[in-house]
Chains A and B, each alone.
Chain A
Amino acid sequence: MLKIENLEASIEGKKILKGINLEVKKGEVHAIMGPNGSGKSTLASVLAGREEYEVENGSVEYLGDDLLELSPEDRARAGVFLAFQYPVEIPGVSSTNFLKTAINEVRQYRGQEPLDAVSFLTHLKDKMKLVDIDQSLLSRPLNEGFSGGEKKRNEIFQMAVLEPRLSILDETDSGLDIDALKVVSNGVNQLKSSENATIVVTHYQRLLEYIVPDYVHVLYNGQIVKSGDKSLALELEEKGYDWIKGGSEVTA
């Protein structure tokens, strides 16, 4: 589904990603862990097409297409979903209105008819249960005045509504209490299928107790320095990131 080869990217002349290689297949869950500043969020942003980042080298293949050639909206329409670490507030625009616009853009791209009001609302209702989101949240302006937990939950709710092929969760666990974390994870797990894939970007192992990854990669200093199965996350938690830092210096 996704094949990243030797990806190098920089922002404002500063190189952040220094040759990433990663392959994600249908049905898989990958976790990317790493200390602050290792390039985790940069990777998520580059995949989503944030324009401040300049790709200097490498390629990203997504479902057989060159992902880097696509505009951010076309990536989204092709099924790439980024759950933002810091979802932005858009005053006056209700979540419902926002999602309706988004879903119909995506459907149009896929050659589907726009959803009428009734089927759209039915669709929303179904998905609301998944993340236990309150109806009133939908009529409020997008993310405005939402608590941190509400914002994160709303991201997963949008993911459920838009039904992406590849979901990238950027530090979705940061700032969440344990109950909210369970709700969010539960949502993600229910959306999992043999046809889609998930990349979970996180600093802590805790989230991975709820969203169990097939693979764990450790990102440090712009490169994946270690890959393994879920036990790697536990090992990392136990030994701390210094373990990796020391190790990478040795191998470097």
Chain B
Amino acid sequence: MSKDDQILQEFTSKEYEHGWTVDLENDSAPPGLNEDIVRFISKKKEEPEWLLEWRLEAFRKWQDMEEPKWPNVSYPQINYQDIIYYSAPKQSAKPNSLDEVDPELRKTFEKLGISLEEQKRLTGVAVDAVIDSVSVATTFKEKLNELGIIFSSFSEAVKEHPELVRKYIGSVVPANDNYFAALNSAVFSDGSFCYIPKGVRCPMELSTYFRINAANTGQFERTLIVADEGSYVSYLEGCTAPMRDENQLHAAVVEIYAAKDAEVKYSTVQNWYPGDKDGKGGIYNFVTKRGICSGDNSKISWTQVETGSAITWKYPSCILKGDNSIGEFYSVAVTNNMQQADTGTKMIHIGKNTRSRIVSKGVSAGKSQNSYRGLVTVMKQAENARNFSQCDSLLMGDKCGAHTFPYIEVKNSSGLVEHEATTSKIGEDQIFYCNQRGIDTENAVALIVNGYAKEVLNQLPMEFAVEAQKLLALTLEGSVG
């Protein structure tokens, strides 16, 4: 065995850090999916009739749809009747303040390193934590209220701002958009809702932390962000899940609406449990994220650091409808062991002078498969559209794969679309250079990978960037010689 292989193997035995379960009493639905379950969920959430109808309509459409087969991933057939579609941690009454939150639950967050107290005090990040499917506590609410910003759990928003939810839900990702979006629309149990009023610049980062806890549950959260004219918000999303032998399904939907002159920055650090080194267990992360730059001069920017999940299937997209609107997608996707990722973006240029930029950095190690799949469309009416895409792949070891599937469709002659892709490996001479300066191989790899991904990491808010850097180093420890 060569030294490279040895290091590679040592690394593959690395354990998942967030892999523990907490004993929370769950209030769950029986496994399986039918109209009754949809009604059960809706009733649990005390939803209005129109939302139940919307869910049922989505469910009916879902039944006629087929699971997509085109992604470059393979997994055993999912039995949708084995999944528990609703699981809420039991609580005696609704907490009025953080102090009333279940101590077990609080401990969970502390283990995750996102103690709500601390978050509240030190970082000024407003957190909405979603465990399994239900939103647990939202910090900083009062402060946001003063500015007219609504940041709450989805179910709360349905109760308190039904007109806003009704207006925008499904407006960016229609209920029948795709198989997993339809499934989510039928059974979503909670998520976050955010509304930034006209001209308001949200003074703090808004954040949601998602965690799947109970066994056999699927998590189907839904996030809706509406940025009214001239507003600005930066939104963070973090994800973790405990280690389990079986695969768990996560099918989320994120919708962003940006009105005239509005700007939304959406950052994700995804660290769902990836399964063990033989590919056992792990989260199936099938997510639909889409934003519409509806008004002129609006901007939506997606940044994602994807290190977790057994399978990732997500394409955060921008519909650039308003003139002069801007879409951005910055991504680092790291796969190791048996992980599979098929991720990228879609930039749909409709308005005049629209701009988009795609920077995708893939890192494959172990026996993993990492695919970039992206679509850039310049519609006939999209005068002077500009796109630049850069897709780089870094391979570590010779048992993994890196794949690039860019689709470019241009129907307007004034459009300028450029795409560049490269594939490389970490050079032995780069590692030796670091060694010679006293840096060991593991740290050298972390340093080089962080350098490689810098353009993307720079897009993240400070607190997140540090976490993301650590995560990259952790995911890739020892993966190269």
Contacts and interface: CB of A to CB of B under 8 A. Distances in A.
Chain A in direct contact with chain B (Cβ < 8 angstroms) = yes
Interface of A: 48-51, 71-73, 75-77, 81-82, 84, 87-88, 90-93, 97-99, 101-103, 105-106, 109, 141-142, 158, 162
B451 A72 contact: no
B97 interface: no
Contacts of A101: 439, 443, 447
Contact of B435 (A76, A90, A93, A106): A76
- Please list the 10 inter-chain residue pairs (A to B) with the smallest Cβ-Cβ separation, ordered nearest first: A92-B451, A93-B451, A72-B435, A92-B454, A76-B438, A102-B437, A106-B438, A77-B438, A73-B435, A105-B438
A108 to B, nearest CB: 9
A96 B435 CA distance: 16
Interface in B391-433: 427-430, 432-433
Given A84-B433, A92-B453, A105 B440 contact: yes
B384 interface: no
B450 interface: yes
B436 interface: yes
B433 A88 contact: yes
Contacts of B429: 88
Interface string B444-481: 00011011111100000000000000000000000000
Nearest to A86: B429
Given A50-B432, A82-B436, A97 B443 contact: no
Contacts of A71: 435, 440
28 contacts: A71-B435, A72-B432, A73-B434, A73-B439, A73-B441, A75-B436, A76-B437, A77-B438, A84-B433, A88-B430, A90-B433, A90-B451, A91-B451, A91-B452, A92-B454, A92-B455, A93-B450, A93-B454, A97-B447, A98-B437, A99-B437, A102-B437, A102-B438, A103-B438, A105-B439, A109-B438, A141-B451, A162-B438
Contacts of B433: 84, 87-88, 90
Contacts of B448: 90, 93
Nearest to B441: A73
Contacts of B435: 49, 71-73, 76
Contacts of B428: 51
Nearest to A92: B451
Nearest to A109: B438
B450 A92 contact: yes
Interface string B307-347: 00000000000000000000000000000000000000000
Interface of B: 3, 427-430, 432-441, 443, 447-448, 450-455
A77 B439 CA distance: 8
User: Which residue, B433, B437, B451, has most C-beta atoms of chain A within 10 A?
Assistant: B437
A112 to B, nearest CB: 12
Contacts of A162: 437-438
A40 to B, nearest CB: 17
Contact of B427 (A50, A77, A88, A98): A88
Contacts of A75: 436
Contacts of A103: 438
A128 B285 CA distance: 49
Given A72-B436, A92-B453, A92-B455, 7 more contacts: A51-B3, A71-B435, A73-B436, A92-B450, A93-B450, A105-B440, A142-B451
B466 to A, nearest CB: 13
Contacts of A50: 432
A73 B438 contact: yes
Contacts of B438: 73, 76-77, 102-103, 105-106, 109, 162
Contacts of A91: 451-452
Contacts of B455: 92
User: Which residue, B428, B429, B432, has most C-beta atoms of chain A within 10 A?
Assistant: B432
Contact of A73 (B427, B440, B450, B451): B440
Contacts of A93: 447-448, 450-451, 454
A76 B443 CA distance: 15
A87 B436 CA distance: 11
Contacts of B454: 92-93
Contacts of A82: 436
Contacts of A51: 3, 428, 432
A222 B451 CA distance: 39
Contacts of B427: 88
A101 B453 CA distance: 18
Contacts of B434: 73, 90, 98, 102
A75 B437 CA distance: 9
Contacts of A141: 451
A71 B438 CA distance: 10
A79 to B, nearest CB: 9
Given A84-B433, A88-B430, A90-B430, A102 B439 contact: yes
Nearest to B443: A101
B460 to A, nearest CB: 15
A48 B451 CA distance: 25
A248 to B, nearest CB: 32
A76 B434 CA distance: 10
Contacts of B443: 101, 105
User: Which residue, A50, A72, A77, A103, has most C-beta atoms of chain B within 10 A?
Assistant: A72
User: Which residue, A73, A76, A82, has most C-beta atoms of chain B within 10 A?
Assistant: A73
Contact of A158 (B3, B432, B437, B452): B437
Contacts of B452: 91-92
User: Which residue, B427, B435, B440, has most C-beta atoms of chain A within 10 A?
Assistant: B435
A142 B441 CA distance: 17
B447 A48 contact: no
Nearest to B429: A88
A236 B435 CA distance: 35
Contacts of B3: 51
Contacts of B447: 90, 93, 97-98, 101
A88 B436 CA distance: 12
B33 to A, nearest CB: 46
A49 B450 CA distance: 25
A93 B451 CA distance: 4
B362 to A, nearest CB: 15
A87 B429 CA distance: 9
A62 B157 CA distance: 70
Contacts of A87: 433
Nearest to A142: B451
User: Which residue, A49, A87, A88, has most C-beta atoms of chain B within 10 A?
Assistant: A88
